[in-house]
Structure 1
Amino acid sequence: MAAKKPIAKSEVLIGTGRRKTAVARVWLKKEKGPFIVNDKPIEEYFSREAAKKTYEEPLRVVNRLGQFSGTIKLAGGGPSAQLGALVHGLTRALASYEPSFREILAKKKLLTRDSRMKERRKYGHAGKARKKKQSPKR
């Protein structure tokens, strides 16, 4: 087996982001190029215009839009949770790139992990977490 070539720390920036049950693993490179999400271009994976604004936000905040390329692996959750996880992972990778970015990104609350999760179902309730059973009238 061939020995793995060590990657210089400054070459690849790694960040892990989470939102609900979605997990995003982000590998950023300081080069102009595309973002690839689960072997698809990011524009194809997140096709809506609102999604584009959301995932570009961390790069726009630190004035580095178009200066990075990256590979992203997304797993779990739905489209919205995956987008949130992607932004969180991208932000963490950028924060590890330059210490001054950390403060800027923290002010915009992009480094904060959104801890809201689906509420568990309770027994004695009608299917959902807070839905009550219909009461008999007579």
Structure 2
Amino acid sequence: MKKVYATGRRKASIAKVWLTPGAGTMTINGLSLDAWLGGLEAKKLRVKQPLALTKQDTSVNIVATVLGGGFGGQADALRHGISRALVRFNPELKAILKPEGMMTRDSRVVERKKPGKRKARRSRQFSKR
């Protein structure tokens, strides 16, 4: 019985994921997936996607701690962490997850605000006269 650890990241979120063989329970920050994400069904599906693709949803238990960002970034960080943990658990699953883009860290982050601008790129309204 091996316990596998992996880290997933997205935007400002970091997910620490521990994966063990088991019945398919998922605990995030001490809560079940349904309690953690509430009614955000699309995000729940996104989190479960690596498990569904590899057909491991009833054979591994997941315990995760997610920090930073909002629910969207956290859900994607968790998805990335679960994917990485599954590959460490069983390297043969990489052939399934990599073509789906689950092993790649999404590097898009919020662009910083520039001086003299309202936002990162939005300028003040120009008045000709």
- TM bucket, shorter chain: over 0.9
Q: Which runs of 4+ in 1 moved over 4 A?
A: none
User: What 5-or-longer segments of structure 2 have no aligned partner?
Assistant: none
Q: Secondary structure at the match of 1:74?
A: strand
TM-score by length of 2: 0.94
Compare CA radii of gyration and give the structure with the larger one.
Answer: 1
Contact 2:27 2:33 (8 Å CA) reproduced? yes
Partner of residue 130 from structure 1, selected from 121, 125, 129: 121
Task: Name the residue aligned to 1:21.
Answer: 12
* Separation of aligned partners in 2, 1:101 and 1:33: 17
Q: Secondary structure at the match of 1:119?
A: coil
User: What 5-or-longer segments of structure 1 have no aligned partner?
Assistant: 1-9
1:90-117 deviation per Cα after TM superposition (whole angstroms, max 9, x unaligned): 0000011111111211011100000000
* Separation of aligned partners in 1, 2:12 and 2:125: 31
Between Structure 1 and Structure 2, how many residues are aligned?
Answer: 128
Task: Name the residue aligned to 2:30.
Answer: 39
What do you get for the CA RMSD once the two structures are aligned? 1.1
The alignment status of 1:108 with 2:64, answered yes or no, reads no
TM-score by length of 1: 0.88
Displacement of 1:33: 4.2
